[in-house]
Chains A and B, each alone.
Chain A
Amino acid sequence: MSTTLQPASTATEQFALRQRSPVQRVQHLLHSYPAISPFLVLVISFIVFSTINPRFASANSLSLVVQQVAVIGALAVGQTLIILTAGIDLSVGAITILSMMVAAKLAEGAGLPGVLAVAVGIILGIGAGLFNGALVTRIKLPPFIVTLGTLSVFTAIGLLYSRGQSVQSSDLPSLLNWTGESFRIGQFRITTGVVLVAALYVVVGFALANTAWGRHVYAVGDDKEAARLAGIRVDRVLLSVYTVAGAIYGLTAWILIGRAGAASPNAITDANLESITAVVIGGTSLFGGRGALLGTLLGALIVGFFRSGLSLAGVDDQYRVLAVGLLVILAVAVDQWIRKVKA
């Protein structure tokens, strides 16, 4: 910076226009587009895994990856919404299992018609989300504690209601199994469940990026008090986020029945951590207010790529667990670094 006597504005302008180092440029770029890093990881892992075993890049294998990722990918949409508000949801899996078991038990053996069973599942998800949201906004409990509690509560209710028994797909109306039906696009095999998940990403992604509600979700997670002073009804936004997330879990319960070919109370035991993992690897900040839904999709796919790629490379599955763990740490470290960005 020049030290000659100049009008202050010129000096500050020069300061503002000073050359950024390459590292600072990368930092700024990642700051503006947090989905870049998961995108790079996805591309690199694709290249590496398909080099090791060309079967990785085959339509069959990729279709399978997408189907495997669909359920966690859908749950991660709800998880993203909650993490954007600087919260966390540990009851993701519990709500999904509860919705699924109640819907399946009611519909078992030509009980409730399929449409009603699906509706009951989604409504139950909404109710559970609303319950979480009410505890967070009305009683002002931290989301971690609320959902840690409801994780046990909803899991227990689901198990008690279903008496711990699974319902086989043959005992269910065809609509409940519909999400597992597949069709071909060229070489790729796509299930209707995958299509539903894609639609979910489009709708929620649009709402987050292009509506006032989306802005408010970011603002609440970024600085709650600033949002309140700007006239945003913070509690309403939070309640809406937990409720929408609950609805998404209820919908995912339906997708899970199709994927698993049964409604089992022991399904997706790792859903909580896996959904959080997808969100974090996707570049969304655990401290709220930063991130994008696109990143979550990439994060979920990265985990799927590692699972399929490493197994096709003939490596023990524990290496996937190890690699994903390292990725999570790396992603949070990158997030911390990006947050220190200066003008």
Chain B
Amino acid sequence: MTTPVLSARGMVKTFGRVVGLDGVDLDLYPGEVLAIIGDNGAGKSTLIKCLTGALVPDTGQMFIDGQPVHFKRPQDALDAGIETVYQTLAVAPALDIASNLYLGRERRRPGFLGSALRMIDKKGMRRDAGKALADLGIGTLQNMAQPVETLSGGQRQAISVARAATFGSKIIVLDEPTAALGVKESNQVLKMIREVRSRGLPVILISHNMPHVFEVADRIHIQRLGRCAGVVTPQTHTMSEAVAIMTGATTLADTPGH
């Protein structure tokens, strides 16, 4: 089998006496959509926060393309090509769309203005932000100078996804991208996920929405009580079996698909 793009071994994270992660292993292969499902408190968000540098695991190892990595802050993961869309919609509300898309990665103007005066290329960033959103099928946002706080939840989500898709060179992680969205906007996000996969980028998708998961995922990692209860695929298991494993009603070994 091919080397995983990302693999994690024995990830442990505790918060005081609460065990968030209890020795989780995870593998992500090139060009796949890996869904992570689990009940509330199963450790989904903690897991991806550890994978993306937002939290530092107590113990555990991570490898990218087989090389060990240690993320101490989000910037480290970004530098490694891992882009994350957080559940909390990590956007700065008072800044405009283009500034948010390029936040932390502002482009400078060419020549003296950029090198000596460190002037940023506002026009160019606005133009390319518009292009990035249009590429993902979001045509409703026209004015890139519009502050993000004047947008709907779905539109904000689109900006986060567009940011990830524009800059993610290795992996894109989406934490509950459809949780706050309507039917049409959700479908748009699912379309974006397929679009990203077709570019060859692997995607980690955290979601509560089983139909969405079964629609786009290639493999499904099931978290339960801080551990991985099993990895299934939409072909070998049904939605109800996956939910049963997730809630502890059954185990991976007992399901017929195994």
Contact indicator A211/B103 (Cβ below 8 Å): no
Residues of B contacting A232 in the complex (Cβ-Cβ under 8 angstroms): 103-104
Chain A CB within 10 A, most for which of B78, B119, B122, B151 = B119
- Chain A: which residue is nearest B105 at the CB level? A231
Residues of B contacting A341 in the complex (Cβ-Cβ under 8 angstroms): 147, 149-150
Question: Known contacts A31-B147, A215-B106; is A226 also within 8 Å of B91 by CB?
Answer: yes
Residues of A contacting B106 in the complex (Cβ-Cβ under 8 angstroms): 211-212, 215
- Chain B: which residue is nearest A7 at the CB level? B184
Secondary structure class of chain B's binding surface, majority of residues: loop
Question: Known contacts A229-B86, A343-B152; is A219 also within 8 Å of B140 by CB?
Answer: no
Contact indicator B104/A225 (Cβ below 8 Å): no
Question: Known contacts A222-B95, A290-B94; is A211 also within 8 Å of B74 by CB?
Answer: no
Cβ < 8 Å to B, chain A residues 267-320: 289-290
In the complex the two chains form, what is the Cα distance from A218 to B96 in whole Å? 11
A229, A289, A290, A342: the one within 8 Å of B84 (CB): A229
In the complex the two chains form, what is the Cα distance from A341 to B149 in whole Å? 8
A32, A210, A215: the one within 8 Å of B95 (CB): A215
Residues of B contacting A342 in the complex (Cβ-Cβ under 8 angstroms): 150
Say whether A140 faces chain B, with CB atoms less than 8 Å apart: no
A31, A215, A289: the one within 8 Å of B103 (CB): A215
- Chain A: which residue is nearest B108 at the CB level? A212
In the complex the two chains form, what is the Cα distance from A193 to B78 in whole Å? 45
Say whether A216 faces chain B, with CB atoms less than 8 Å apart: yes
Which one of A8-16, A73-81, A107-115 contacts B?
A8-16
Say whether B93 faces chain A, with CB atoms less than 8 Å apart: yes
In the complex the two chains form, what is the Cα distance from A16 to B150 in whole Å? 11
Chain B CB within 10 A, most for which of A8, A13, A210 = A210
23 contacts between A and B (CB under 8 A): A9-B140, A12-B140, A206-B117, A211-B106, A212-B120, A215-B106, A215-B120, A219-B95, A222-B95, A223-B90, A225-B90, A227-B104, A228-B74, A229-B86, A230-B92, A230-B104, A231-B75, A231-B78, A231-B104, A289-B92, A289-B95, A341-B147, A343-B151
B66 to chain A, nearest CB (A): 25
Question: Known contacts A215-B106, A216-B104; is A343 also within 8 Å of B150 by CB?
Answer: yes
The contact string, 1 if C-beta is below 8 Å from chain B, for chain A 225-241, is: 11111111100000000
In the complex the two chains form, what is the Cα distance from A341 to B94 in whole Å? 11
In the complex the two chains form, what is the Cα distance from A218 to B74 in whole Å? 19
Say whether B88 faces chain A, with CB atoms less than 8 Å apart: yes
Say whether B54 faces chain A, with CB atoms less than 8 Å apart: yes
In the complex the two chains form, what is the Cα distance from A256 to B118 in whole Å? 31
A305 to chain B, nearest CB (A): 29
Question: Known contacts A211-B120, A343-B150; is A8 also within 8 Å of B84 by CB?
Answer: no
In the complex the two chains form, what is the Cα distance from A218 to B99 in whole Å? 10
- Chain A: which residue is nearest B147 at the CB level? A31
B12 to chain A, nearest CB (A): 23
Contact indicator A229/B151 (Cβ below 8 Å): no
Residues of B contacting A16 in the complex (Cβ-Cβ under 8 angstroms): 140
The contact string, 1 if C-beta is below 8 Å from chain A, for chain B 147-167, is: 101111000000000000000
Contact indicator B140/A218 (Cβ below 8 Å): no
- Chain A: which residue is nearest B142 at the CB level? A16
Residues of A contacting B103 in the complex (Cβ-Cβ under 8 angstroms): 215, 219, 226-227, 230-232
Cβ < 8 Å to B, chain A residues 105-135: none
In the complex the two chains form, what is the Cα distance from A213 to B149 in whole Å? 22
Known: A212-B108, A230-B74, A289-B94. 8 other contacts (CB 8 A): A12-B140, A13-B140, A218-B95, A226-B103, A229-B74, A229-B90, A289-B92, A341-B147
Cβ < 8 Å to A, chain B residues 91-125: 91-95, 99, 103-106, 108, 117-120, 122
The contact string, 1 if C-beta is below 8 Å from chain A, for chain B 63-95, is: 000000000011100100000101010111111
The contact string, 1 if C-beta is below 8 Å from chain A, for chain B 168-196, is: 00000000000000001000000000000
Residues of B contacting A227 in the complex (Cβ-Cβ under 8 angstroms): 92, 103-104
Residues of A contacting B99 in the complex (Cβ-Cβ under 8 angstroms): 215, 219
Contact indicator A233/B75 (Cβ below 8 Å): yes
Question: Known contacts A289-B94, A343-B150; is A212 also within 8 Å of B118 by CB?
Answer: yes
